[in-house]
Chains A and B, each alone.
Chain A
Amino acid sequence: GDSVTQMEGPVTLSEEAFLTINCTYTATGYPSLFWYVQYPGEGLQLLLKATKADDKGSNKGFEATYRKETTSFHLEKGSVQVSDSAVYFCALTVPSKAAGNKLTFGGGTRVLVKP
């Protein structure tokens, strides 16, 4: 079945540091890929997405490139802020009749940015 593997946290950084969160996937079809962010006490918010190979999703200074050859979708940000402290989830969807538009999530990576 489909699965997403992302690096375990917590990841602790200083403000203005470079952030990378690795994400790899396996999928039976041709997936769309997503990064969601969850701030403390809140639900999930879409951060960015990519729907085909070599697409780059970007938002709020975060970027991720859909790499079909390495089945990866690593998240990067060049200079993090304290407000980026959250849990980040990599996810994929391969729409099907059996599972609708089911999202398959990784386990999440907690990021803590210190001033």
Chain B
Amino acid sequence: ETGVTQSPTHLIKTRGQQVTLRCSSQSGHNTVSWYQQALGQGPQFIFQYYREEENGRGNFPPRFSGLQFPNYSSELNVNALELDDSALYLCASLTGTGSPGANVLTFGAGSRLTVL
């Protein structure tokens, strides 16, 4: 049990559709980030939320958007799905001892999205 729960675990969409992925983490984990992991590759940073505001973004287009709620749960929304969006989407919460370099990301098991 990592303390980070994602849903759904698997889903299939068609090109052009929209998808919402969800993530919840343990109380007090107020920083959440999302990653995209294509098959056979390392995860790529999408964005990070801190206290309900985006405070870091990777090289992803605006059709990738997110929300963080007061209870620190989070959503990743992807509009106008493309075939290349097929991937494992990972949510992670930031835990640590306060020192920036010592902070650690704890990942959920991911949501596997297939776009047909």
Contacts and interface: CB of A to CB of B under 8 A. Distances in A.
Contacts of A42: 109
Interface string A44-85: 111001011000000000000000000000000000000000
Tell me the interface secondary structure of chain B in the complex: strand
A103 B105 CA distance: 9
Interface residues of A, number: 31
Given A107-B42, A108-B40, 13 more contacts: A32-B101, A36-B107, A43-B2, A43-B108, A44-B43, A44-B90, A96-B56, A97-B56, A99-B48, A99-B57, A100-B56, A102-B58, A105-B43
23 contacts: A4-B42, A30-B101, A36-B107, A43-B107, A43-B108, A43-B109, A44-B43, A44-B107, A51-B99, A93-B101, A95-B103, A98-B57, A99-B45, A100-B31, A100-B48, A101-B33, A101-B103, A101-B105, A105-B43, A107-B41, A108-B40, A108-B41, A108-B42
Interface of B: 2, 4, 31, 33, 35, 40-45, 48, 50, 55-58, 90, 92, 94, 99-110
Interface of A: 4, 30-32, 34, 36, 42-46, 49, 51-52, 89, 91, 93, 95-108
